Amino acid sequence: MFGRIVVIRLLQAIPTLLGVATLVFFLLHLVPGDPVDALLGETAMPADRVALRQALHLDQPIFVQYGHYLSGLVSGDWGVSLVDHRPVLQRIMERTPATAKLALASLLLALLLALPLGYIAARHAGKSQDVAAMGFSLIGVSIPNFWLGPLLMLLFAVGLGWLPVSGMDQPGSMVLPTITLGTALAAVLSRLARSSWLEAMSMDATRTARAFGVSEQRIWWRHAARLAAVPLLTMFALQLGGVLGGAVITETVFDWPGLGLLTIEAIQRRDYPLVQGCVLMIASFYVLANLLADLLALWLDPRQRHGH
């Protein structure tokens, strides 16, 4: 069952990734600016400009360039950076571990915050504890990363001097980026945890357990928690891809040397192959996150397995 679903999802991912690659390719070529100017400067000799344009195949029609790009993707060749002439895939692989480290830390922080908040809000629904917990989640959803990041830097790095401002080499350098990226996710997950727990408590399985004299604490943490985990873990898996999108902003704010910062640097330098590779890698993570969410839902909820 799982094997068949994995194959189907992977086949469905092919047109999605092809659409992403196509869209990014043509949008980048519509952006004002010339990569030759970015590499050589506006004062370069015309002969040098022509030679570089021919070397980069930029003198060919755009659909010919697109054909070269797709054939390279099929053969595993993601192109060469226009700036340092290194393979795009190699540069992406160098930056991916830093992004993975930040993403995992942010997801862990989100779970540590979301589960207690969701449980407290659900257990005391309609009371002051519920209002306080959901108030925190509302604040977390409302504050964007590009505002929260500099605010934390001003407070803990510049004002108090407790933590480094940027980079990842110093002790504690991971704290502020993790908080910036993890709090927004914690806010979303805590609201979902609350609603899922309350819905699970109204199901027949929990009412039956209560009728058999099972304690409320056991019902909340054993019976209802398992039912509530289905939508919660599904959303958590989907957020694996969303974290990478937020990492583009967070890594730029904190100068974190990951995939997000590499994407911004490539855009600024008009490095077309590197931008295309970074976006395609992020899109691939989104596809894998959706696949993981589907498999988790099937594993946790037998009704969905029978539905397939």
For the stretch 261-288, pLDDT in tens is 898 888 887 787 888 888 888 888 877 7
For the stretch 209-232, pLDDT in tens is 777 676 777 777 766 777 777 777
Q: Which of 244, 276, 266, 283 is nearest to 145 (CA)?
A: 244
pLDDT at position 51: 77
Q: Mean pLDDT in the chain? A: 78
Query: Hey, what's the torsion of the CAs at 180, 183, 189, 190, to 10 degrees?
Result: 180
For the stretch 115-166, pLDDT in tens is 888 888 887 887 888 788 888 777 777 777 777 888 888 888 788 777 887 7
pLDDT band at 289 (very low <50, low <70, confident <90, very high): confident
Cβ of 266: how many Cβ atoms within 10 Å? 24
pTM: 0.76
Q: CA-based Rg of the chain, rounded to a whole angstrom?
A: 24
pLDDT at position 41: 64
pLDDT at position 17: 80
Which residue reads 């506006």 in tokens? 42
Burial 22-33 (b: 16+ CB within 10 A, else e): eebbeebeeeee
First CA to last CA distance, the chain: 8
pLDDT band at 306 (very low <50, low <70, confident <90, very high): low
CA atoms of 68 and 138, how far apart (whole Å): 47
CA atoms of 284 and 24, how far apart (whole Å): 14
Q: Which of 225, 151, 148, 136 is nearest to 188 (CA)?
A: 136
pLDDT at position 40: 65
For the stretch 226-260, pLDDT in tens is 777 777 777 777 777 667 777 788 888 888 888 88
Q: In the predicted model, what is the mean pLDDT of residues 44-63?
A: 74
pLDDT at position 42: 65
pLDDT band at 1 (very low <50, low <70, confident <90, very high): low
Q: Using alpha carbons, list the distances in angstroms from residue 41 to 252, 267, 275.
A: 25, 16, 20
CATH code matching the domain that covers 95-256, chosen among 2.60.260.20, 3.40.50.150, 3.40.50.970, 1.10.3720.10: 1.10.3720.10
pLDDT at position 45: 75
Q: Delimit the domains of the chain by residue range.
A: 95-256
pLDDT band at 15 (very low <50, low <70, confident <90, very high): confident
Q: In the predicted model, what is the mean pLDDT of residues 290-304?
A: 68
**Percentage with pLDDT > 70 across the chain:** 86
For the stretch 167-208, pLDDT in tens is 777 777 888 888 888 888 888 888 888 888 888 777 777 777
pLDDT at position 190: 84
